[in-house]
Amino acid sequence: MNDLTQSSIKNIRTDKRSKGPEYWQAHIEAMKQSGLSKTAYCKQNNLSTVTFFKWEKKLAKASALFVPAKLEMPVSPTSSNEMIRIDLPNGCVISLPVSCSPAEGLRWIETLMRVSCSS
């Protein structure tokens, strides 16, 4: 385990109330770098394997909610007909008018995230 990961684990309070996402993410990263199996890492660090697996799954699910995207928009829009273009990694493209309010844009994006894009 590298010193950075080890120190990040040590810097996280160890009382039960503070064992949240940061604590478990630090242990997950340390386990990956340790070369140990998950079970062996948990045993070596006195961690519950059940809790470790639960947090690993929970954090993986949370990270899946973030999608890298490419955003193109006019530097200084000259008309309300200009569009903001968002290219998603799966090939979907979202185009919204520059005149769209942030709340309206967010509603569109949330709606589109719930449906699959077709070519």
110: tokens are 């949330």
pTM here? 0.48
Q: Could you list the mean pLDDT of each consecutive 10-residue stretch along the chain, which spans 119 residues?
A: 57 61 90 94 94 92 68 63 76 80 77 60
36: tokens are 């140990």
Query: Could you give the 3-state DSSP secondary structure of residue 94?
Result: strand
Rg (CA), the chain: 21
